[in-house]
Structures are given as structure tokens and as C-alpha cells.
Amino acid sequence: MGITVNLSDSKLLREAISRARAKARAEGRDERWAEAWADGWVEGWEEGRRQALAEAIERILQTRFPCEAPTRLADHLVDLVPRALYDIFDKSLTASSVAEALGSHVPARSHAATR
């Protein structure tokens, strides 16, 4: 089960969001524009984080299990919530097989990676 985190309240992102609001006011735009920009920025940041985790998992499993790891695994994993990706990442470091690392997230149709 995933948890929802409001990144717009993050100390890390607060400065960027405040700048966007100030820019919107200076340009005579409605502050809702700044909110929409900030929401899009945060969404893009979260998507990039999920993509990076999915690619790291794919790389680890392809390195550890070259004949077993599904191709394009990152494309399959990228839509999972970050908590699930972190769990799979941790398991992929010590698992004895790809299936053990991925658990219920094994792609329905996978092709063994070729090296």
C-alpha cells in the first residue's frame, strides 16, 4: 500500500515554488498558474525518480541474472509507486532469482535479456 506525500510542502522544493509564485505575480498572472506550474514540476520530479529507480533495478537484475532478466523491465516497473520500487530495489540486491526480486511484479510476458 502506497502513501501520498505532498512535495509542494517540502523544504527542498519550497524555494522553487515560491519563485514561481513571485514570477506569476510579477507577470500579472493568476497565482493559480504558479500552483499549476509547481504541481507539474513536482509531478515531473516524481516521475523522474520512479524512472531512475526502475532503470537501476533493471540494471542490477541484468547484471546479476543476464539470461533471466526481462528486457525493457524498467518500462514495466516505472508506473509502480515509489515504495514498491524501493522494496524491489532492496530485494534485487540479495535475491536468488529475478522472480524472487520482482515478486508479484514479474511482467506477464517477458523475454530473457541477451548479452
**pLDDT-derived band at 60, boundaries 50, 70, 90:** very high
Non-local (6+) Cβ contacts of 96 within 8 A are none
Tell me the average pLDDT across 48-75: 92
pTM of the model: 0.62
Residue 29 vs residues 3, 8, 9, 20, 33: alpha-carbon distances, Å = 33, 20, 22, 11, 7
**Cα-Cα-Cα-Cα dihedral sign, residues 73, 55, 92, 76:** negative
pLDDT at 10: 66
Of 58, 87, 59, 63, whose CA–CA distance to 74 is shortest? 58
pLDDT at 99: 93
